[in-house]
Amino acid sequence: MSHDDTRTDRLRSVPRHVAIIMDGNGRWARARGLERSAGHERGITVADEVIMAAAERGVRHLTLYAFSVFNWSRPRAEIDMLMRMCAEFAERYRERYRASGIRLGVIGDLEELPTPTRRAVEATVEATRDGTRLHVTLALSYGCRSDLVSAVRAIAAHAQAGLLLPEEIDEQALRRFMTTSQMPDPDLVIRTGGEKRLSDFLLFEGANAELYFCDAMWPDFDAARLDEALDVYARRERRFGRTAEQVAAAHD
């Protein structure tokens, strides 16, 4: 199969929702004798490049793991720097995304964020709310398990108040109380940096997602590497519990 044929196949099967664990900023900087902040700064630029590339390729939802609940255990100086960079990202690209039809959203516990960071992100969410080309979601102070716990607590409170009957509690009811309730399940989860784990990222929502692990550090990720991931995704068979024969019959 030629490169053009592969590209055509990929374009026909572009995942609706791509989620990325952006890993490797610190190691990228350390390998170059730079401060970790240099890796994170480069990572912001790459995030913008990948957002625009995803929009050009027809991806409709892109979720970026920007700051995990586990990241609060990092040194205070690095946390402060990351929070400043989150605010700078939201402010730097606000008008660009609004004009490009790119909508920004957030999952996670925003109440945990410093006020300047939260306000900058919320301002960009509001400014881009009418975007329909691509919905970008930043996972900030996010962890799937903590999101599930918060959802279960909310369900328990509703049940105690008589607003929800036990027999009404199912998967869809649970999802309505999660911060990810407005997004479709991810079709493809990419992790950069060479590690092969999900680190509490969309574990519930990504139960049927295809996984793609990339050795490149996040600051070295680019549109070409995104294309590689999309090419791999296009060649995989999505069965969702069915046999290969059932899948083939459904496509006939």
CA–CA separation, 156 vs 127, rounded Å?
A: 34
More confident: 25 or 237: 25
* Residue 246 in this model has a pLDDT that exceeds 50: no
Q: How many CB atoms lie within 10 A of CB 115?
A: 8
Catalytic residues: 23, 71
Predicted TM-score (pTM) of this structure? 0.90
Q: Determine, yes or no, domain membership for 6.
A: no
Q: Is residue 108 domain-resident?
A: yes
Is 148 within a domain?
yes
Distance CA 85, CA 81 (A): 6
How far from the centroid of its chain's Cα atoms is residue 197's Cα?
A: 15
Domain count, the chain: 1
Report yes or no on 4 lying in a domain.
no
- Residue spans of alpha helices (H) in 62-221: 76-92, 94-100, 115-127, 144-160, 171-176
Split at pLDDT 50, 70, 90, the class of 1 is very low
- Contacts of residues 213-216 at CB distance under 8 Å and 24 or more positions apart, as own/partner, are 214/190, 216/24, 216/192
User: Is 122 part of any domain?
Assistant: yes
> What average pLDDT does the segment 78-102 reach?
97
pLDDT band (50, 70, 90) for residue 100: very high
Q: What is the CATH number of the domain that holds 95?
A: 3.40.1180.10
Contact 162, 88 (CB under 8 A): no
Q: Is residue 40 part of a domain?
A: yes
pLDDT band at residue 148 under the 50/70/90 scheme? very high
Contact, 179 vs 146, CB < 8 A? no
| Of the candidate ranges 35-39, 127-131, 235-239, the one whose mean pLDDT is the lowest | 235-239
Mean pLDDT over each residue of the chain, to the nearest integer: 92
The pLDDT, as a whole number, for residue 237 is 80
Virtual CA dihedral for 25, 27, 30, 31, nearest 10 degrees? Answer: -110
CA-angle at 248, arms to 242 and 250, nearest 5°: 80
Mean pLDDT of 134-157: 97
Residues 144-151, mean pLDDT to the nearest whole number? 97
CA dihedral sign, ordered 4, 6, 9, 13: negative
What the block records as the tokens of 12 is 């026909």
Residue with more model confidence, 187 or 5: 187
Q: Domain containing 218: what range?
A: 15-251
69, part of any domain: yes
User: What pLDDT, on a 0 to 100 scale, did the predictor assign at position 251?
Assistant: 53
In the prediction, which pLDDT does 13 show?
85
Domain contains 156: yes
| 113 has a pLDDT exceeding 50 | yes
The answer for residues whose C-beta is within 8 angstroms of residue 4's C-beta and 6 or more apart is: none
